[in-house]
Amino acid sequence: MKTISIFLALINSLMAGLLIAFSLSRVELQQAEVLWSITKVGAAFIVILFGVVTWVTSARDTNSGILPLGGIFLLLLGTVTILWTFHLAILSGDMEYYMIGYGGSLMVQGLASLLGFAGESRNLTTS
């Protein structure tokens, strides 16, 4: 599970970087409201942050208390991304399938992070 979490941390961090680049483009800034752009960029930065925390935690034997919180956040963010994509598809008729894939990837990373590092935290507390 740790390997899946590490791989998805890389993929999701790259996708979050692309989302930031797209959200800060001239066309997107003219079309979207400022609060919505700030929300998207903030969520993408948090995805990148939890990707870095996952990489650091897997590289060293550290006790990262933020990793379970990150896993839960990624599960929630993935679910919200999928639901928001369906909501926009109903309103506009334009289905963005890549966002469903990205939301699913966030959910799998969060779940793999929770399950993969949970056994290690149990071993750290008993030793």
What number of CA atoms fall less than 13 Å from residue 63's CA on the CB side? 7
Please, are residues 85 and 96 in contact by the beta-carbon 8 Å criterion?
Answer: yes
- The fraction of the chain above a pLDDT of 70, given in percent, is 88
pLDDT at 83 exceeding the cut of 80: yes
Direct distance between the N- and C-terminal alpha carbons of the chain, in angstroms, rounded to an integer: 22
Which of the 8 DSSP states describes residue 120?
H
Which residues, including other chains, have CB under 8 Å from residue 27's CB and lie 6 or more apart?
none
Encode pLDDT of 16-56 as tens digits: 999 888 888 877 777 777 788 888 889 999 999 998 888 88
This prediction has a pTM of 0.80
Higher pLDDT, residue 6 or 62:
6
